[in-house]
Structure 1
C-alpha cells in the first residue's frame, strides 16, 4: 500500500514547502502550525465486539492528530450510505460517533451526507477529517527532549527517533484485528477478544506534559511490525525489540497460531507506539500507565546505530529481522 500510494497517488500532487509535508507520509500534515488529517473507513462488519465503524472513525482521526503532538480541536464527517440501509443502523453509528467525540472532548463541527444506489456500496462508508493546533505542552515536551539531545523536528514525526531512544507501546497488540476477524468469520475462539478502539488524546497529553517524547504513531494497518519498520527507515537507525516485552494476550497469540499469521502484523485501533529520550522513559511510562488507555503500557526496546531495520530478540534468546508485512492479513479493519 505504501508503494502504491507513493507511486500512483502522491506522485501526482504538487509539492509544498511545509514543516511536515504530504510525502513524509506521517499520520498528519502540518501547514502553518495547523495539523490536518483525513481518514476513510470501510469496516466489515459495521458492528463488532468492542466497537463499530463510528467509534473507529472518530478515534482513528483524533489519534492521527494526537500522535503528531497536536491537540485535536474539531472533526468533519462525510457519510456515504447505501440506498435502503436501515435507519436504525444509521442512528446507532451516528450515536457512537457522538459518544466517542464527547469522550475525547473533540466536537464534530461539519459534515456531508450522500446516498448511493442499492448494491453500489457495501452499506456505509465514513470519512472523517480533523484539525489540531500546537499546544503549550508540546513545546515543553520538545524543550525537555532538546535538553538531552538535539531534536530535528518540532513535531513528533516518524523521522525523529535516534540511537538510544526508548520504545514504548501503550498496551496489548493485535486486539482489534483478531476481534474483527473472529467475529466476522465466526471462528469461535475460546477466548473472547474485544477491539481496543478508543481515542488516545488524553493519554498522549499526559505523556507530553512529562516531556521527552520525540515520536509517536498508532499501529493500525500492518500492526506493530509495520510501524516499527516505518520508523527505522525514516529515522535511519536500528530498532532493537525484546519480543517477550511486547504485551500480547494469550487469546491473540493462540488465534494467530491457529490462523498461521504473525501477531505483530495485526492492526490496532486504540494503541500508540512512543519513542522517548532514555532519560525520561520511566517517567513517561508512569504517566501513561496512570490513564485507563495506557494502564498496560510497556517498554519494548530501544534504537541503536545501524541500518534502517527492526531486530527482534526472541523469547529463546535468538535474533531475527522483523520484516514489514507484505500484505494485510486482516482486510478492512478500519
Structure 2
C-alpha cells in the first residue's frame, strides 16, 4: 500500500460554483476552468466542458444545453458533475496510468450530509482511489500558508462563487465557523436587478460579471469609472446601450456586501477572547474570487476594526490547500484520523 501511495498522484479540487480548479502535488494548479458542461439534449452526450462550454451559455441551439452543475457551492446535477470532474482529471492524468489518484475536495461547511455524499460519489465515479473532503475555509487557510497547527487564532474569510465561509482556526481545527450561501454569483445578480429596476434594461450574467470586475467596488474611490453596456430594453424589447458608473455599481452591491460584513462580525463575536486577541494582532485573511472586489478588504477592516490581508493568488487557495492536505496533516502533531472521523 505504501508503494501505491508513492506512485499515486494527490489531487486537490476546488469544486466551485463558477470555476473548478485542480492542484496536483509537484505541479501546482493545472486546471482553472468554468464549471460549465454543454450536453446534447436527450442523449446527454457531452459536447464541451469548461471555457468552451461557458461560451455556449445562453447561446446554444435547441438541441444543446449548457449546464452549470453546481449551485451555491454544492452539486445540483450529480451526473453532469461526475462527467465534468472526469473530463478535467483525464486532461491531467495519463490514460494508461494504473494507479488511481487520491482526491481531496474543498466543500462549504454549510452543506448537508446528502450533499457531502454526492461530492464523494461523483469523485469516486470520476476515477478516484481515495476521496477526502475538507471545509473550504480550512483548505483556503492551508493554501494561504497560514500556520494552522499553531496554538493561536487565525481568521479566514473565503468568498467563493456560491458561498462565503468565515472561520477561526487554531491547532489544525475550526473553533468557530459560519457560512452563508452567498458569493460572487449574488454580486452579479444584484447588479442585474439594479440595472433592470433603475434603468429598465435587461442584461445577462456575463455583462454583470464584466461590470463587477471592471468597475465594481465596495468602498468610495476618488476616481469615478464608467463602462458602456448593452442589453434589452424591458419596455420596448429592443437592444439598447447604457453608460453606468462605479458609484452606481457600488450601490447595487451594497446588500450582499453588508451580509458578508455581518457574517464576519457574527463570527468575531463568537470567538473566544484569547483567540480574538490573536486575530486583532494577525488580522483577517481573505481568499476566494469575491475577495478581489476592489475596496472590500478596506471596507471590512473599517467595519470590524481588524486588519484585513488579501491572500496571494486568493482564487487558488482552496485548490492548493486541498492538494496539500495529506502532506500538512501528516506533519501535524494532531492525529489526522481524528479529524477525518469528525468529517466523514
RCO comparison, higher one (Cα < 8 Å, 6+): 1
Whether TM-score is above 0.5 comes out as no
Query: How high is the TM-score relative to the length of structure 1?
Result: 0.26
Structure with more of its chain in helix, by fraction? 2
